[in-house]
A and B are shown apart, each in its own frame.
Chain A
Amino acid sequence: MSRLKIATPNKAQLTVERLYKDLERHIVASPPGLCPVDLQLTFLKLCHAQTCGKCIPCRVGLGQLAHLMEDVLEGRATLKTLDLLEETANNIMDSADCAIGYEAAHMVLAGLDGFREDYIYHIEHGKCSYHITQPVPCVALCPAGVDIPGYIALVGEERYADAVKLIRKDNPFPTACALICEHPCEARCRRNMIDGPVNIRGLKRMAVDNARANTVEVPQKAESTGKRVAIVGGGPGGLSAAYYLELMGHHAVVFEEKSKLGGMLRYGIPNYRFPRERLQEDIDAILSTGVEVHLNTRIGNGEGEIPFEKLREEYDAVYVAIGAHTDKKIGIEGEESEGVISAVELLRNIGEEKMPDFKDKTVIVVGGGNVAMDCTRSAIRLGAKKVSIAYRRRQEDMTALPEEVEGAIAEGAELYSLKAPNRIEADENGKVVALWVEPQIIGPIDAWGRARPIQAEVPLMRIPCDVVVVAIGQGIETRHFEEAGLSVKRGTLAAMSDSEVKDVPGVFAGGDCVTGPATVIRAIGAGKVAAANIDEYLGYHHVIPCDVEIPQVKYDDKKPCGRIQMGEKEAAERKADFDAFENCMTKQEACQEAGRCLRCDRYGYGSLKGGRAAIW
């Protein structure tokens, strides 16, 4: 008789392992708007199936919780049921032997707290208070509501100009989003249920690379209304609003404080990610609608500046889309030393082609967001001898897209994770010589699910350097607008969800200056919302249509197929210059990738509720 055996999983176990993965992907692709109580019950049943059966709270208790929740869903419950549910879950949490039991109960309690009103709605009305509002997951998650299945189908048929036209119905920056969108649309792509999300941004890139935005004609404008709308800020949000307002027949006049249009697309995103000439393609198309632009024009009370009040007097409506362009300080000793530069300033200079001299210097970037990665990779391209990133949490906690972090590391950046900046050391001339950091260990998880760093019981660490780039976030220059009567909350301008500014008629605001630093697509979405509501405010109801016919679905079986990733120039080559390094898909790749789209506009709930908003 053998004393020990090597364990090998049997077929059933292997299958279950694979099913776990399938289920994970299934959960990832959950559409927004589902009944939370129903989902909670389903989660609970899964947890219950995990129980080994030894202990009462878990074996019996979880089942009883499920019965109580079924009572809620079937309209058999009273408000007392909720009390019993809560008490039972608390007792399971406090007495179950292992995490299978107490964490399951914890989830139930989290739900009772998080969507208690829906539990009560079920009890009082016998139905759920939630509805699926947009049946197509990618469109639901795109802040601008771009017709994604539509343009994917067009790219699949190599109708690139039509794809650009369709994108433009909701987003006048097809090129910008093709190159640098954070693609929230991909997060819950239903294709996840089969293999992985469709490479939506890549397919958009295919469209704009084969039909340049400035070569695709913009739609015909509505008859002129004679109304004039001032737009403060020539970034993606302001220009989006300007574009749609012009199409609606109003005259949009953009005031931009810098010497060029584009906002953060130009002054925040480096050329290697978004080449300037590509940005110009979008801008040219937008300007072709007749938008009037005043560059180097600041809104304020200073000399040569235009007071906000004057805009309000002279224009029928005003849209404030000033973005978030001021830098945030770390607030540590030595921050004013020579050689300390903010990310905003660094990227703005690069945007204006005033390249700082980093040759043979040692650079440390403080921060873990996309902007920090942009600074890091720019510094590398500026010839720095060594570029490091100091971040107080772990790499996986960074808010930057993983591919950005990986790209920076591949290009030679050194990552100092779990290092919180403590002070900046300068020499006798006030020049930076080192960054002192406090090593951290990762600690408890906060209410938002993020692990918080806590100070490690080790001495401070000195990292010698010549330049410190502070990339810990941006602020908003709200002062002048606050003085003009716009209210400010937590450093951002306060505007309602329809982008109206409360109590200031005719004034609208949106984008980063309202939400705080966010993504380009959110700014574009805000510009679209503002244009629609300014149109209504002016007493009109223009619609933005698109006459592109969407291709029929194909009846091919949806066999599992890998996701096409876009190629990049190799790290050693790309880090030498600011040229773009991401390659577009080939036609073969794009057609295959477009074929992976499950056409949720046509199948599933989309076929009932209409898979697309043909006009807005």
Chain B
Amino acid sequence: MVKEVHLLIDGIEVCVPEGTTVMKAAATVGIEIPHLCFLEKINEISACKVCVVELKGKQKLITACNSKVEEGMVVFTNSPKVRSVRRTNVELILSQHDCHCATCVRSGNCALQKLSNDLGIIEVPYKEEVPVTPWNHNFPLIRDSSKCIKCMRCVQICDKVQDMHIWDVQNTGSRTTVDVARNIPIEASDCTLCGQCITHCPTGALRERNDIPKVFEALADPEKITVVQVAPAVRTAWGEDLGLDAADSTEGKMVAALKRIGFDYVFDTNFTADLTIMEEGTELLTRLQEPQKYAWPMFTSCCPAWVNFVAKRYPKYLRNLSTAKSPQQMFGAMVKTYFAEKKGIDPNNICCISIMPCVSKKREAALPYMKSAGAGQDVDIVLTTREFARMLRAEHINPKVLKEQPFDSILGESTGAGVIFGVTGGVMEAALRTAYAVVEGQNPPADAFKQVRKTEAEEKACTSGGCESCSACGGEETRVLGNRKEAEFALGDKKLRVCTVSGLGEAEHLMQDIINGRAEYDFVEVMSCPGGCVGGGGQPIHDGCEMAFVRGKELYELDEKRPLRFSHENEEVKQLYAEFLGKPLSHKSHELLHSDHVNELYYFAKNYL
């Protein structure tokens, strides 16, 4: 039985369980204490000293975010002293922050801007001393030191959730800042570009490379045929930054908005998600027929950050990856071959653009071996969901007044299986649906493999630090957000042991378990971002909120509503095989849709230097 603690906050009696923080206790009575650096369970370091509160009888203020309640405490969240300290600390932060909000991608969605506005700060009495450190602006991830408030969230998310340890505190004293750990250039680091540091940054200090101008350039070029694909997870989030409700941010409105921007063809990455299942599912069945010829377990390969993680940390396991390219890259290869051929377009005149919930996709598209169609890179430009929303704003397009439109044909149809590619467990579920059908000769119930989905309870356990007694980390690491699910399914006469993982911290634990023989699987799906692509590093940002689960649910709803829910039933995919590829794993498929990923190993710094 947890003890109850009684305290008084701003004169209001509060009763909360022992161990509650003052901030949470205040929230129970509707008092939201202003805060900035705090990120629950991930960054509770009280660096910004914005959430200060006064304790009756004590001279020194305490921070509400990480101070636990005590019996009989008398707390003031708005005393003259608190007011003064809070204001001064925000002014001090502003004195070292580039306050050109008008040119900032986070304007209107910046925790510092909101805080400063809320406190009514209209001038800063201190000398402005904004630190500027150089950064390579060709790299897909941009760090702007002049906007960094040293809240350390990026360091913590990368350490605690993703276990990549890319960022660290650099220098000491007044010159203390955040930079790539061990003083190495970002290009040479192990950064997988998962982008979780961006989505957890309270300001505009971290963002993706801005590729919007390139898209406008292509749109303006009369010679170019612009073809855009939209990843599954994007449709759950594109309206968030535009303030749209569910009715105005449907798939159909998204297509209409893209057409209004002026793209010649609007296609769906879900189409190639279905195609991926045909290729990767067949590959799995082939490998299962001759298990001794392959390394086990087989890993999915659609997440470029995960492929990059394997190449950099566990290169020996590259051969475990499915050779199937990601849906984005399959799409690029199909547009510049099959589609171009069918439409009679010179593939060199096609500009292939994708809208992804992901920063790592920008890197994937630029990989030197991702040009199998022979017309430049298969995918020319990658925009994140956030860039897409910015583009719509720039084009003053109001989706509310648009009429829904369908995706264009021949690369636009998708089944429910393709839709759920954007959520953790989705690729696995989609693959199992088709694999079962192939082996058993008939479709399973569409929801037969639901077991790999992250449940509401698991999501709750995650965000409240469910891994505290983990034997692997001694309870020291708070492995929040990510998840891992195991399941066993009968496939013909074989038991298929599967595992789905999201978050690179979990992926690291998984690899250690596999290497040390603590876990054995046949097929493993990994998505680098907690919750899958719906929680991707290119998705809209909501300070302090994790949206992956909510968006994931939306994908499952879309899946349920789709008339077709099996990748192998996608008519356009069938047509593609009939007219162009032959069959899964055909020679042509291998040429255009597969890669051994080994080239990842040789692809390092030089491309950005």
Contacts and interface: CB of A to CB of B under 8 A. Distances in A.
A610 B155 CA distance: 13
Interface in A31-77: 33-35, 38-39, 42, 73, 75
Contact of B45 (A129, A545, A552, A608): A608
Given A38-B173, A73-B175, A615 B183 contact: no
A128 B152 contact: no
A131 B58 contact: no
Nearest to B174: A38
A127 B185 CA distance: 12
B47 A608 contact: yes
A6 B168 CA distance: 58
B170 interface: yes
Nearest to B70: A555
Contacts of A35: 171-173, 175
Given A125-B183, A557-B58, A557-B59, A610 B172 contact: no
B374 interface: no
Contacts of A33: 172
B475 interface: yes
14 contacts: A33-B172, A34-B172, A35-B173, A38-B171, A39-B173, A127-B171, A128-B170, A543-B474, A558-B60, A607-B46, A608-B152, A608-B169, A614-B476, A615-B476
Given A34-B173, A38-B174, A614-B476, 15 more contacts: A35-B175, A38-B171, A73-B175, A126-B134, A127-B183, A128-B170, A128-B171, A128-B172, A131-B169, A545-B474, A555-B62, A555-B67, A555-B70, A607-B45, A608-B45
Most buried by B among A545, A552, A607, A615: A607
Most buried by A among B62, B134, B173, B174: B173
Interface of A: 33-35, 38-39, 42, 73, 75, 125-132, 543, 545, 552, 555-558, 607-608, 610, 614-615
B27 to A, nearest CB: 20
B172 A38 contact: yes
Which 10 pairs, one residue from A and one from B, show the smallest C-beta to C-beta distance?
Answer: A615-B474, A607-B45, A35-B172, A38-B173, A608-B45, A128-B171, A34-B172, A557-B59, A614-B476, A557-B60
Given A38-B174, A607-B45, A127 B179 contact: yes
A128 B179 CA distance: 11
The interface size bin for chain B is 20 to 34
A607 B476 contact: no
Given A614-B475, A614-B476, A132 B62 contact: no
B285 interface: no
A608 B70 CA distance: 23
Interface in B474-506: 474-476
Nearest to A36: B172
B292 interface: no
B240 to A, nearest CB: 31
Nearest to B475: A614
A125 B47 CA distance: 27
B66 interface: yes
A426 to B, nearest CB: 60
A607 B47 CA distance: 9
B68 A552 contact: yes
Contacts of B179: 127
Nearest to B156: A608
B58 A38 contact: no
A99 B152 CA distance: 44
A136 to B, nearest CB: 14
B175 A555 contact: no
A129 B183 contact: yes
B283 interface: no
Interface string B54-81: 0100111010001110100000000000
A33 B55 CA distance: 34
Contacts of B175: 35, 38, 73, 128
Contacts of A125: 183
Most buried by A among B156, B168, B169, B171: B171
Contacts of B172: 33-35, 38, 128, 130-132
B91 interface: no
A556 B179 CA distance: 35
A52 B170 CA distance: 37
Contacts of B70: 555
B476 A610 contact: yes
A190 to B, nearest CB: 15
Interface in B132-174: 133-134, 152, 155-156, 168-174
Contacts of A128: 170-172, 175
A337 to B, nearest CB: 57
Contact of B133 (A126, A132, A543, A555): A126
B474 A614 contact: yes
B219 to A, nearest CB: 39
B488 to A, nearest CB: 29
A129 to B, nearest CB: 7
A126 B180 CA distance: 13
A301 B168 CA distance: 54
B520 interface: no
A35 B55 CA distance: 36
B133 A607 contact: no
A42 B175 CA distance: 13
Interface string B577-608: 00000000000000000000000000000000
B44 interface: yes
Nearest to B57: A557
Contacts of A610: 476
A319 B173 CA distance: 42
A27 to B, nearest CB: 14
Nearest to A609: B169
Given A35-B172, A38-B173, A128-B175, A556 B183 contact: no
Most buried by A among B155, B179, B474: B474
A440 B46 CA distance: 57
A105 to B, nearest CB: 22
Contacts of A552: 68
B45 A555 contact: no
Nearest to B477: A610
Nearest to B474: A615
A138 to B, nearest CB: 19
A557 B55 CA distance: 11
A131 B58 CA distance: 34
A558 to B, nearest CB: 7
Contacts of A130: 172
Contacts of A557: 58-60
Nearest to A559: B59
Contacts of A555: 55, 58, 60, 62, 67, 70
Nearest to B46: A607
Most buried by A among B55, B133, B172: B172
Most buried by B among A127, A557, A615: A127
Contacts of B55: 555
B88 to A, nearest CB: 19
B445 to A, nearest CB: 45
Contacts of A38: 171-175
